[in-house]
């Protein structure tokens, strides 16, 4: 209130009228920030959940590939799901190198 009176007197001293209008108080940004922060935290939580789900899926696939190759005594090409002829250095049943899937069984 003292500032308003000071400014009012300041403008009057120059011959002006008391046309000083106090600025409107700034809107409360705290609520908007808290809403933004909550949305950001939720997005981060969902990303972490998705990462964990992908890690679990990768572990599951890894275990399935290991169990197939060790139980059958053959190495399975993880990309095509077909057994390898000649081990990792060979080709799978469709002629693909290990880790690739260019041709399927029906394409031969």
Is the Cβ–Cβ distance between 4 and 20 less than 8 Å? yes
Arithmetic mean of pLDDT, 12-28: 65
Arithmetic mean of pLDDT, 72-100: 76
In degrees to the nearest 10, what's the CA dihedral of 40, 51, 79, 66?
A: 180
Number of helical (H) and strand (E) elements in the chain, helices listed first: 2, 2
pLDDT in tens, 31-85: 888 899 999 999 999 999 998 888 888 887 777 666 554 445 668 887 777 888 7
The predicted model scores a pTM of 0.37
Map residue 97 onto helix, strand or coil: strand
Q: Answer with the residue of higher pLDDT: 104 or 88.
A: 88
**Residue from 56, 86, 52, 67 nearest 78 by CA:** 67
């Amino acid at each position: 209130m003292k500032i308003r009176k000071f400014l009012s007197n300041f403008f009057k001293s120059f011959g002006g009228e008391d046309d000083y209008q106090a600025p409107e108080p700034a809107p409360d940004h705290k609520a908007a920030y808290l809403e933004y922060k909550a949305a950001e935290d939720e997005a981060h939580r969902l990303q972490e959940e998705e990462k964990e789900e992908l890690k679990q899926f990768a572990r599951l696939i890894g275990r399935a590939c290991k169990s197939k190759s060790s139980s059958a005594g053959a190495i399975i090409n993880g990309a095509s799901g077909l057994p390898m002829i000649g081990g990792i250095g060979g080709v799978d049943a469709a002629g693909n190198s290990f880790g690739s899937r260019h041709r399927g069984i029906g394409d031969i």
